[in-house]
Amino acid sequence: MERKKIVVGVIMGGTSSEREISIKTGKAVASALNEAGYIVKEILLNEDSIEAVEKEKIDVAFIAMHGRFGEDGELARLLEERKIPYTGSGPEGAKIAMDKVLTKKSFESFGVPTAEYIVLDSSISGEEADWFIKRHLSGYPVVVKPAREGSSVGVSIVDMRSELNDALSTAFRFDNKVLVEKYISGRELTCGILDGRALPLIELRPSKRFFDYKAKYEDPGTLYIVNPRLEPRLYRLCQEIALCAHIAVGARDFSRVDMILQERKVFVLEVNTIPGLTERSLLPKAAAAIGVDYQTLCIRMLEMALRRKALCA
């Protein structure tokens, strides 16, 4: 089908803490696809429902929804029920990647290296949490994260017991299940995956201690080094581990895998099945390094969904 006849619904917004970033991603994607010749409809969700999608007649959905409902596989499941093809991972892969605990279990099953961790629920006291941390993680420092949030929302690095209660309170504001993992110091790397291929690595050097929400979206002091200097064998190992992590969670078409490199050891943090596509985002930077510009990247993401539709027809 010719581009000028394909109606693309770019779905953005939602009710999660990442709504603002989702809208930025969605509008950038919509603009790129519109300039490429597609008929584009921007679909802004203000609730966890696809009623707004059902009001539009679209041939394919481009999911630009970060956070819950969009990134956890629920939106994909509802689109599948209505036989609307969509970009990115299927419901199960998205659900696993969004849930840091399920992600850890998948990594363990596939032998993907990752930091030691424990899981806590909201009924636990600070004293109990401290005991578990000392018993199972050999003490501090640790990283405390809500199990099902993205963009480092609700994440704290805890260096000592006196900081633990505040970190738990912050994380439990976003989820009743919290992941506590051993803090791994080292170089922060990310590797985009596109259509079964690992893209060039990017090293992140935030001006703060770690790559949190502000460092990702607001801090002009954050440095992004494409193709960082690494021994070739170690560079390839990072790419191979990223691709394995992508496969382990059941991601499809594209993702972004975040890692820590501590000397020569790689620790995978997470897999993002709907990575940001704003002007500051990492996947477009990695794609550009192999000659894939922003518009072409969006087209390739869309074409993978259209290809599935053709195969299923």
Domain range list for the chain: 3-87+296-312, 96-112+185-273, 117-182
Tokens of 159: 């260096």
270 catalytic, yes or no? yes
User: Which of these is catalytic: 18, 72, 74, 130?
Assistant: 18
Q: Tens digit of pLDDT for each residue in 224-259?
A: 999 999 999 999 999 999 999 999 999 999 999 999
User: Which of these is catalytic: 217, 252, 253, 255?
Assistant: 217
Question: Using 50, 70 and 90 to split pLDDT, how confident is the model at 209?
Answer: low
d(CA 255, CA 97): 10
Are 120 and 172 a contacting pair, CB within 8 Å?
Answer: no
Question: Using 50, 70 and 90 to split pLDDT, how confident is the model at 210?
Answer: low
276 catalytic, yes or no? yes
Question: Cα dihedral sign for 107, 216, 228, 200?
Answer: positive
Question: Using 50, 70 and 90 to split pLDDT, how confident is the model at 57?
Answer: very high
User: Which of these is catalytic: 13, 67, 192, 276?
Assistant: 276
**Does residue 40 sit in helix, strand or coil?**
strand
151 catalytic, yes or no? yes
Architecture of domain 3-87+296-312: 3-Layer(aba) Sandwich (3.40)
Class of domain 96-112+185-273: alpha beta
CA–CA–CA angle 62, 290, 233 (5° rounding): 115
Q: What is the pLDDT of residue 313?
A: 46
Q: Can you tell me which residue has the tokens 């991972």?
A: 89
Q: Comparing 16 with 285, which gets the higher pLDDT? A: 285
Q: Confirm whether pTM is higher than 0.85.
A: yes
Architecture of domain 117-182: 2-Layer Sandwich (3.30)
φ and ψ at 286, to 5 degrees?
-70, -40
217 catalytic, yes or no? yes
* Residue 121 clears pLDDT 80, i.e. is over it: yes
d(CA 42, CA 24): 12
272 catalytic, yes or no? yes
* Residue 26 clears pLDDT 50, i.e. is over it: yes
d(CA 42, CA 53): 10
Q: Which residues contact 209 (CB under 8 A, 6 or more apart)?
A: 157
The CA distances from residue 278 to 36, 163, 211, 297, in Å, are 17, 34, 16, 12
In 190-255, which ranges are continuous DSSP H helix?
213-217, 232-248
Q: Comparing 213 with 95, which gets the higher pLDDT? A: 95
